[in-house]
Structure 1
Amino acid sequence: MSAHYTTDIAVIGAGAVGMACALQLATDGHAVVMIDPGAPGMGASYGNAGTIADYAVLPVGTPDVLKNLPSLLFNRNSPLSIRHAALPTLMPWLLRFARQSLPAAAARNAAAIAALLASANGSWKEFAAEIGGAEILQHRGCLYLYETAAAFRAAEADMAGRRALGIAVELLRPEALAAMEPGLPGVAGGAAFFPQAIFLDDPGAMMRRLAARLAQMGVAHLPHRIARLERQAAGVVLEGPGLRVHARRVVIAAGAHSRALAAQAGDRVPLDTERGYHVEWDMEVPRLTRPACPTTRGFYLCPMAGRLRVAGTVELGGLTAPPSPHRVQRLIEGARAIFPDLGEPSRDWMGFRPSMPDSLPVISASSSGPDVIHAFGHGHIGLTLAPITARIVADLIAGRGPELDLAPYRVGRF
């Protein structure tokens, strides 16, 4: 027998984006339920690098990536790789990704990402205070590390482009980096320092604070998977094993699991899955005081409460294949290249990022009507963009003019 619920708004997905949307909508006075088979916030929202990456204005697809795409995708040691078994189903996505990596498209996508990121830091400070998580938010900036002098010189053009998009960044010589991070072994090239960046020293703890706040506000979490979405005259019906929900409006915020639901709402979306990994070493005091990304290795060294987390790399491989031991080992080897004395890790993890070919999320009403709102596809910056996405979704539902032009993020742009 199925449980039956009637509500004003149903949010499908209980990651950072879904929970932020549910909180904003409940704050606006709506009756909200949140539907997700997993524990709130315990997918990619828990396993990430913890960075509020206001500096991450470049899309994954750029002319440089396009030039090196074959070697990147088919070198199993690359920070951007593909599971060969997934190649046939990924080809349409890869062709779109290649087109979005051309110079004009990449520049347009960077400007659209920068527009979303412009208020990320301020939004997160307010958001963390609202849910009682202000002490989890750290204000120490973030580093990109360059392991050779040539890489440091090449970074100057990259950083000039970021400055043009409004990002504050300082280039540090090795001696200045050593003074800033004395626990970091010598980095021959130097670093780029993003002084305004903030980060969470425990993303899982922040997600638990957010889930607790939602519970306090009466937002129920229904631990079910939605298999069917059907529009009816009086709203939208959602069904899954053991559940039937009738809602006036629905927000699809199911991350990497959103594509099939969007299709049932009438929208074909080129969403695919990046598989991200992390490895952790328990330690009382992490080896550095702020997140640092060795740029050629494609991961972050993340100081977190009681542990060092090494998180990142991109593996295109769908939702069903098991974790790759090779990708985990690559993270371990990369971490030991920076910190040679690291012992055996304490744990590892793999999760799913929702990836669009242009690196832009889908934040818009369905092309078939405003009773379904899309809020997914945030790629590497879902945690960063959760509060701003929630405000936009609430504006769309309330019929308010959103705070920025939503044309670049519309569901029908492909």
Structure 2
Amino acid sequence: MTQHVTTDIAILGAGVVGLAVAEALTAEGRDVVLVDPGQPGMGASYGNAGTIADYAVMPVGSPDVLKNLPSLLLDKNSPLAIRRAGLPALAPWLLRFARQSLPTPTRRNAAAIAALVADACPRWIALAERIGGSAILQHKGCLYLYETARAFKPAEADMAFRRTQGITVELISPDVLAGMEPGLPAVEGGAAFFPKAVFLSDPGLMVQTLAKHVFKQAGFVQAEARTITRQFDGIVVEGPSLRLRARRVIIAAGAHSRALALQAGDRVPLDTERGYHVEWDMAAPRLTRPTCPTSRGFYLCPMTGRLRVAGTVELGGLTAPPSPHRIRKLVEGARAIFPDLGAPDREWMGFRPSMPDSVPVIGPSRAGAEVIHAYGHGHIGLTLAPITARMVADVVAGRVPEIDLAPYLPGRF
């Protein structure tokens, strides 16, 4: 049966970005309906590392990554890997990624990301207060772990660059690290400590809390949106069981946004990173803050009642089954830190929307502001949900956003 819906603003996607946009718009009295084929907040918004990563200014692509790209992509044990069957389809994206990994684009992309993450933590603190989720936010910072002295040495240049982008970070010795995290085995290198970072002890609960708050004012339609058609009096969105008419449409469908953007008249080079996590149930999850062993490409995340190990990047599209090898590598990596871990209690795979420049797409369509883009956040969608919502709300209201939209517009490609 087809659902017929009429609204002022339709948001396609009910992950954390779509929900945050709805929260901002309904707070200004807008009539909003969210559309999603799944349950709100149960994709990457649920399965992430829970970090509000205001320190994450570096794009995935950089000169160092470019130098090692062939070995990274073709080594199945690499933190950045590719499903070889998908290589032909990914080739155009990879060429763009390589160009964006040159020194000048890397600096430009880092500056664009830094502008977005600058106030990520206070914005999340304010959002959590509005929705009744403050108890889920933990104010303990985050660690980058360097297991060897050799790995620690390049951190000095990396952190010096981050400081130029406004990031507060301290390089700490193994002894200081042991005092902060006595549950960690001793390391030779040390760590980088980001004291201002906050994290969510339960990302799924936070997103459900946000959804509960939003749906006091906004509507929700569980349906797939496949086509966007501009008409003289608005936009029509259709799917197998949906016909929706709206004055404006906001595309916030994460990794599923590319086809919708094309329907709206914008060809955007969005592709998919497949992210994984495994979890061990435990009353005390051994750490007090998220810790990233940098050489392994994942986070050890202390969450309520469990230790979550989340991360790695696998370029492989939306249709291939989960890779048992990627799950196995996460388990092996976690056991390299905590050798006594048994079999994990659960495993998960989700899809991140990945742009070749690591910069999200935010702002009006090239074909007209009746369609607004809000996706492509890669690893930091959770982090950037509140600022994305503010920028979208400003576009809807005809205000000039506090952050210049130019680096994020779909027309930049």
Task: Please classify the TM superposition score into its range, dividing by the shorter chain length.
Answer: over 0.9
Letter of the 1:264 counterpart: Q
Per the alignment, in what secondary structure is the counterpart of residue 216 of structure 1?
coil
Aligned counterparts of 1:34 and 1:82: Cα–Cα separation in 2: 33
Q: Secondary structure, in 3 states, of the residue corresponding to 1:35?
A: strand
Q: Which amino acid aligns with 1:372?
A: V
1:299-320 deviations in Å (ceiling 9; x for gaps): 0000000000000000000000
The corresponding residue for 2:125 is 125
Deviation, 1:338, is 0.3
Give a deviation string over 1:234-262, Cα, whole Å, max 9, x none: 00000111111000000000000000000
Structure 2 SS opposite 1:40: coil
Q: What's 2:276 paired with?
A: 277
Give how far 1:147 is off.
0.8
Per-residue CA distance 1:351-377 (angstroms, 9 max, x = gap): 000000000000010000010000000
Find the aligned partners of 1:18 and 1:124 in 2 and give their Cα distance.
15
Distance 2:215 2:248 in 1: 20
Aligned to 1:23: 23
Q: Compute the displacement of 1:227 (Å).
A: 1.1
Do the aligned partners of 2:224 and 2:241 also contact (CA within 8 Å) in 1?
A: no
Indicate the percent of aligned positions where both proteins have the same amino acid: 71
SS of 1:343's equivalent in the other structure is coil
SS of 1:23's partner is helix
Match of 1:408 in 2: 407
Distance 1:23 1:112 in 2: 24
The whole-number CA distance in structure 2 between the counterparts of 1:215 and 1:227 is 23
Aligned to 2:361: 362
Task: Give the whole-Å Cα distance in 2 for the aligned partners of 1:214 and 1:180.
Answer: 37
How far, CA to CA, are the matches of 1:295 and 1:390 in structure 2? 30
Amino acid at match of 1:376: Y
1:101 alignment partner AA: S
User: Which AA in structure 2 matches 1:384?
Assistant: T
Please report the TM-score for the alignment, with normalisation by the length of structure 1. 0.99
Please name the residue that 1:4 is paired with. Answer: 4
Residues 62-103 of structure 1 show CA distances to partners (whole Å, capped at 9, x for unaligned) of 000000000000000000000001000000000000000000
Tell me by how many angstroms 1:412 deviates: 1.0
The answer for the alignment partner of 1:139 in structure 2 is 139
Amino acid at match of 1:319: L
Residue type at the aligned position of 2:290: P
Alignment of 1:37-56 (within 5 A): 37-56=37-56
User: How many residues end up aligned between the 2 structures?
Assistant: 413
State the distance in 1 between where 2:3 and 2:193 align.
52
Q: Does 1:162 align with 2:162?
A: yes
Matched with 1:295 is: 294
- The equivalent residue for 2:350 is 351
Q: Which blocks of at least 5 consecutive residues in structure 1 are unaligned? A: none
1:338 to 2:320 alignment: no
Q: Deviations over 1:13-55 (max 9, x none)?
A: 0000001011111111111000001110010000000000000
- Per the alignment, residue 387 of structure 1 pairs with 386
Structure 1 distance, partners of 2:72, 2:274, is 16
1:106 aligns with 2:122: no
Distance 2:70 2:8 in 1: 48
| 5+ residue gaps, structure 2 | none
**3-state DSSP of counterpart to 1:159:** helix
Mapped to 1, the partners of 2:6 and 2:221 lie a distance apart of 12
Over the aligned positions, Cα root-mean-square deviation in angstroms equals 0.5
Deviations 1:277-330 (A, max 9, x none): 000000000110000000010000000000000000000000000000000000
Q: CA deviation at 1:2?
A: 1.3
**Cα deviations by residue, 1:165-214 (Å, 9 ceiling, x for unpaired):** 11000111101100000011111111000000000000000011011001
Aligned AA (1:21): V
**Alignment correspondent of 2:232:** 233
Say whether the 8 Å CA contact 2:6–2:244 is kept in structure 1.
yes
User: How many Å separate the matches in 2 of 1:3 and 1:330?
Assistant: 44
Q: CA deviation at 1:150?
A: 1.1
Report the AA paired with residue 294 of structure 1. P
